[in-house]
Amino acid sequence: MRHLYWGPRLPRVEDLVAGEIWPLSSNDLAEDLTPEEYPIHGGFRYGETCLSVRFPDGSREVRAVVDGMAVEDEGVVVALRDGRGVGVELHYWVLPELDLIERWAVVANTGEEPLAVAEAASAGLHISRRNLILHNVAGHWAAEQQGFTQRIGPGKVVLEARRGISTHHHNPYVVLDDDATENTGDVWFAALAWSGNFRAVVEQRQFADTRVILGWNPWDSEITLAPRDRLTTPTVVAGYSDAGLAAMSHRLHDYGNALLDPRPRPVLYNSWEATEFAVDLDGQLELARRAARIGVELFVIDDGWFGRRDSIDDGLGDWWVSPGKFPDGLTPLIDHVRGLGMEFGIWLEPEMVSPASDLYAAHPDWIYRDPGVAPDTARGQYVLDLTRADVQAHLFEVLDRLLTENDIAYLKWDANRPMSAVGVDRDVQRRHIAAVYDLVGRLKAAHPGILVEACASGGGRIDFGALRVFDDVWTSDNTDAADRLVIQRGYSLVYPAKAMRSWITDVPNFLTQRSIPLDFRARVAMCGSLGIGSDLSTCDDGELESLAAHVATFLRLRPVIHDGRQFRLGDPNDDYRFVGYVSRDARHAVLFAFLLPGRLGQRSPHVRLSGLDPDTVYDFTINGVADRRSGTWLAHHGVDVWLQGDYASALVEFTAVD
Ligand code: GLA
């Protein structure tokens, strides 16, 4: 099935003509030249494909023909069929308000014997240009989401995850531009809603175009489809912007926000950096008292509250309250937190088990195991085999009971190691993620109203698949505010601020040993979904008052930051860094300005604002000086936010004059 066009809306449908494709030579035949919507392995196809199967007789050649098409509401389904026992449905679902298309595929075994599926991507996409610029992120634990660009030349670039999570390393999307900027130029983009192993291929072909394939990673995978079974791939959401990267981000942010629970994200306190594993009732009571004093809405107890968990080496899997640390269970703490007017949240790592745990002692066969080698630990833990029905049933029962017996409004769902040596079944990594989605979905259905945060050693599980079931993501274990500016900018390319948890934490930062002033740390944290991770028990009255003032500011600005439009402003390589948020009616805007340690005493650059109404006049105050300018002035001349001193910062509000 031939792809014809991807770009701005066409003025006439008659432009879509599927002319003949002539072979270039006996080495470049029409099949290979054709930009196909879903290339399937076989024949003269030598480029990357979306689907490859092995029939029961060992044949891997598929000759699929179009076998019908159905148009329903905003969707189109095209059916392809090979009479030897494989059918494919290509689903297209148009989201007109967002100007996006969702695509996914369903592969069916229409034969009488099992069908081996070696690869089943979600979508193939074509852009009729070459030498495009690829955007994605690169990094590792505590250094996620570092945006990079790379010009695509002949050949291909593959971004992927093999660790069983969508990873800290790359993210499951492809953004390609043709010399675009934030506000101008052509951008094509596609993101995969999947939180596990993925593969994104960008292939510049010899035939003057670029092919993108996005889907599950076929690496070390083979899916067996029983007769009459159907395999539905994850969704890809794709779009095109003729107005640069910001317009793309806004549509993807809207898409992400539409997946999320619509309630505002509460300002939370999390005790991890303050206590690590040393949690106990008295300490938590005191932290809660102080958290309430500074305006926190949700108090979250992190790791260490359960089983015999005193370090990373023990306790995972034993989701019963530690009697040593909480002799009367969690009720006294939860009652205290609720009495202070806050909601209560709790940390869990349900997919894991420690070798030193009751659960592992009772069920050593419940982990992924290769028959030939001893299982590996990482962070002292194993991965539970979530593809097993008994493991799924156990986890549901235990977590359901925890939520039933305790007044819990929020779960932080962690996963702190990659999968490895998973055994002989080459389809467990995919089924593991499906089981996680299912489990979270069932817990949310049984306990309506709970919010669940996705965490995988920080930002290892950030993707649209996660945003479909989770409500928040922990962006990174790196809470250094200067590093966070980089991480949060990378994150913002695709994902919305509402689900980006960012905490104010203590200095020197535990990771970087950098000491950044509180105002800077607080303003960076306000650019997402604000949390506090400081050890409040050591804060004096002045520090608590400052924190309370920042929380109050955030609560006032939260609707603009979470429901407005976010703009990446300025040059990300300058000493000055800027982030802007504008309300949907453009009557209120917030500009965050940050100064990193100056290299050359850089003068304040004019920062030009985006998203304001050109004809509206705005009041604002910078460095104590009140000013008033039109949206046109602010967009085309900009303002100077003069900052002095390493890690100086400012928050400037723009309010429309009636
Ligand atoms: C991971 C998370 C942290 C914290 C610890 C607890 O590293 O990313 O935020 O919850 O686990 O062990």
Average pLDDT over residues 300-305: 98
Cβ 319 under 6 angstroms from ligand 1 = no
Tell me the β-bridge partners of 53.
117
pLDDT exceeds cutoff 80 at 599: no
Residue 615: active-site member: no
Of 569, 564, 626, nearest to 593 by C-alpha is 569
Cβ 195 under 6 angstroms from ligand 1 = no
Q: Are 602 and 576 in contact (CB under 8 A)?
A: yes
Average pLDDT over residues 638-642: 95
pLDDT exceeds cutoff 80 at 598: no
pLDDT exceeds cutoff 80 at 603: no
Band (pLDDT 50/70/90 cuts) for residue 208 is confident
Mean pLDDT of the chain, nearest integer? 97
Q: How far apart are CA 53 and CA 308, in angstroms?
A: 47
Question: Quick one: pLDDT at residue 534?
Answer: 98
Question: Quick one: pLDDT at residue 604?
Answer: 79
Q: Which residues, at least 6 apart from 143, have a Cβ–Cβ distance to it below 8 Å?
A: 168, 476, 478, 483, 487
Helix (H) or strand (E) holding 108: strand 100-109
Cβ 349 under 6 angstroms from ligand 1 = no
Cβ 272 under 6 angstroms from ligand 1 = yes
Residue 414: active-site member: yes
Question: Cα–chain-centroid distance for residue 628?
Answer: 38
Question: Quick one: pLDDT at residue 38?
Answer: 98
Q: Which atom of ligand 1 is nearest to the CA of 302?
A: 10
Q: Tens digit of pLDDT for each residue in 153-168? A: 999 999 999 999 999 9
Q: Which residues, at least 6 apart from 475, have a Cβ–Cβ distance to it below 8 Å?
A: 144, 145, 458, 459, 462, 484, 487, 488, 491, 500, 501, 502, 528
Q: Tens digit of pLDDT for each residue in 444-502? A: 999 999 999 999 999 999 999 999 999 999 999 999 999 999 999 999 999 999 999 99
Q: How far apart are CA 504 and CA 525, in angstroms?
A: 6
Cα(319) to centroid(ligand 1), Å: 16
Q: Tens digit of pLDDT for each residue in 387-396? A: 999 999 999 9
Q: Where are the beta strands (DSSP E) in 439-561?
A: 451-454, 472-474, 500-504, 529-532
Cα(617) to centroid(ligand 1), Å: 46
Cβ 305 under 6 angstroms from ligand 1 = no
What HEC string does 26-64 produce? CCECHHHHCCECCCECCCCCCCCCCEEEECCCCCCCCCC
Helix (H, G, I), strand (E, B) or coil at 579: strand
Cα(164) to centroid(ligand 1), Å: 18
Cα(592) to centroid(ligand 1), Å: 28
Cα(479) to centroid(ligand 1), Å: 12
Cα(457) to centroid(ligand 1), Å: 6
Question: Cα–chain-centroid distance for residue 27?
Answer: 42
pLDDT exceeds cutoff 90 at 655: yes
Q: How far apart are CA 505 and CA 508, in angstroms?
A: 9
Q: Which atom of ligand 1 is nearest to the CA of 312?
A: 12
Cβ 413 under 6 angstroms from ligand 1 = no
Q: Which residues, at least 6 apart from 26, have a Cβ–Cβ distance to it below 8 Å?
A: none
Q: How far apart are CA 443 and CA 609, in angstroms?
A: 43
Cα(459) to centroid(ligand 1), Å: 10
* Residues counted in the chain: 658
52, 117, 174 from 64: Cα distances, Å: 12, 15, 27
Cβ 483 under 6 angstroms from ligand 1 = no
Q: Which of 167, 269, 272 to mutate to test the pocket of ligand 1 (most atoms within 8 A of CB)?
A: 272
pLDDT exceeds cutoff 80 at 152: yes
Q: Tens digit of pLDDT for each residue in 508-558? A: 999 999 999 999 999 999 999 999 999 999 999 999 999 999 999 999 999
Question: Quick one: pLDDT at residue 658?
Answer: 84
Cβ 411 under 6 angstroms from ligand 1 = no
Query: Could you say which of 32, 186, 414, 472 is catalytic?
Result: 414
Q: Which atom of ligand 1 is nearest to the CA of 456?
A: 8
Q: Are 377 and 313 in contact (CB under 8 A)?
A: no
Cβ 34 under 6 angstroms from ligand 1 = no
Q: How far apart are CA 654 and CA 611, in angstroms?
A: 12
Cβ 567 under 6 angstroms from ligand 1 = no
Average pLDDT over residues 90-105: 97
pLDDT exceeds cutoff 90 at 73: no
Cβ 476 under 6 angstroms from ligand 1 = no
Cα(36) to centroid(ligand 1), Å: 44
Q: How far apart are CA 156 and CA 431, in angstroms?
A: 28
Nearest CA to ligand 1 atom 7: 457
Q: Please count the other Cβ atoms lying within 10 Å of the Cβ belonging to residue 276.
A: 15
Q: Are 566 and 578 in contact (CB under 8 A)?
A: no
Q: Please count the other Cβ atoms lying within 10 Å of the Cβ belonging to residue 622.
A: 16
Query: Could you say which of 177, 385, 477, 519 is catalytic?
Result: 477
Work out whether strand 529-532 and strand 500-504 pair parallel, antiparallel, or are unpaired.
Answer: parallel
Q: Which atom of ligand 1 is nearest to the CA of 347?
A: 10
pTM over 0.85: yes
Average pLDDT over residues 369-380: 97
Q: Where are the beta strands (DSSP E) in 384-522?
A: 410-413, 451-454, 472-474, 500-504
